[in-house]
Structure 1
């Protein structure tokens, strides 16, 4: 899958005190603590997950 677009996401906000749905979305993205970055495949599903927790993450880069 070297030809697929990649997106780098960084967690900027804490999951403490957030609804369970948002905590599980962060875990689904592979983010467990502030400052953690993950490189993910740029798919509609991943974009939707990022949109659900947009106030807790930021997109750092796209390839």
Structure 2
């Protein structure tokens, strides 16, 4: 099985962090997002997908 390391994900924060769990705040910071409408371009990997899955209600993902 070969992996394509050039796959990128564009992740955009669409909801505020106010009133959210501390763990979710840390995940958002780990993704490189700071404020609403900020966008991070990240490598597509299982660990990044897991982080996105936990905060999927706050982010929008494009491939």
Same fold (TM over 0.5): yes
Q: Look at both structures and tell me which one has the larger radius of gyration over its CA atoms.
A: 2
Which of 34, 39, 44 is residue 37 of structure 1 equivalent to?
Answer: 39
Q: Which runs of 5+ in 1 are unaligned?
A: none
Query: How many correspondences in the alignment?
Result: 59
Q: Which runs of 5+ in 2 are unaligned?
A: none
Residue matched to 2:11: 9
Alignment root-mean-square deviation, CA: 0.8
**Is residue 23 from structure 1 mapped to residue 3 from structure 2 by the alignment?**
no
**TM-score normalized with structure 2 length:** 0.89
**TM-score normalized with structure 1 length:** 0.89
List, as ranges, runs of 4+ consecutive aligned residues in structure 1 with deviation greater than 6 Å. Answer: none
